[in-house]
Structure 1
Amino acid sequence: MIGRIRGILVEKTPGQALVECAGLGYEIDIPYTTFFHLPESGQEVTLHTHFAVREDAQSLYGFAAKLDRDLFRLLIKVNGVGPKLAVGILSGLDAQQFIRCVEAKDANSLVKLPGVGKKTAERLLIEMADRIGQLEGQFVPMSPGATVAGGPSSGQAATGPDPREEAEAALIALGYKPQEAAKAISKVAEEGATSETLIRLALRSMIPAG
């Protein structure tokens, strides 16, 4: 099991980071809540990881905080929730917001996440209610603009000619319909905004913090 990786961040895109460690480059799938806190490329980063092995694939998932990784591991134990959906959940809601939803039995916020229908939301609330107690004492809120492993937050947009198009593509990759993605980005579009900013604002507008 690969539980943590510390190395140099070679590149980052919404949903994935490439980290070089001891001469090896690890492609790591990440939720957007982790992407927003990555340092600039070329700087050191530490990610808490989960290594998933299936018959047809081997995938490495990374998270800025240990709590996020541990919550991910609890989520994939829920019937009908696989790694991809768990990453999607943690992309739309950070750990603290998800825990609040469970404690408040807030299914409405959960069904706004792509791939989460009413039945899945209800199952999450029921099954996670007994499991989130395992996470008590771990959560340390990460202040806005904070970075992983001490690196400064990047103010640059990820590679792409148009931040709006890139942000829309990122939301579609997360599971939102093209019309939903375009509408959300259009609603929060600001002159000069980076794709990171647009994605963050769009997710907040679609899934307001409870």
Structure 2
Amino acid sequence: MKKIKGRMDESILVCVYYGPNGERLIRRGHKLAQIMNCPLYVLTVDQKAYDEFDAEKSGYIERWEELCNELDVDEFIVRDNERSSVKAIKEVAHNLNITQLVIGQSPQNRWEEITKGSFVNVLLREMTFIDIHIVSIDRTLKSEDDTMYEKGVRGFLQEDGDTYKLRFTRSNDCLYEGIFYKEIGTDFNNGVFKFVSKKGKTCQLHITEDTVTAKMEEPPNIK
């Protein structure tokens, strides 16, 4: 049984999209909810139907749901088959009596209007009496050994003999789609490739000059 929140006149909605920044937004919203001692909800919106989500999207949703359970979030909401993200957010906010909205500012996600300011302006027009918190997202990735990486870019993993090569163009030979983080200060494609396996498991591979140099945690299934 969930603990009854102290302030029911306030409620927070965190909007996340696919990518490594979703977890950070959820944790930010959770900290805000703890300070205000109020209900917390997490929402993700997609134009596709849920059963059409690929392995990467399904993996992110699974991880976010686990995190929401871990942080005792009141509800994790998936709105699929939506033509308008603003309309979906507005409906959820209205139904849950939301007073605080948390969104991320990053050019890598589908909330791309945020970077131009138009998305926020639409939200402000559509949802009065709601405070909107725009969280700036770091464009670099830092590893445990303090190695710094550039902003992640979309990449693909392709089988090449006994190993696997990093590619930046989709083809029928690509096994996985993910995000490549290039090491800062190198002229070659050295860095880290992150993707979600067909079993929904998040995997991380080290790349040296376009080639995977670490053993894959799960053998690719190309059937």
Both structures adopt the same fold (TM-score exceeding 0.5): no
- Structure showing greater relative contact order (alpha-carbon pairs closer than 8 Å, 6 or more residues apart): 1
TM-score by length of 1: 0.26
TM-score by length of 2: 0.25
Structure whose residues are more often strand by fraction: 2
Structure whose residues are more often helix by fraction: 1
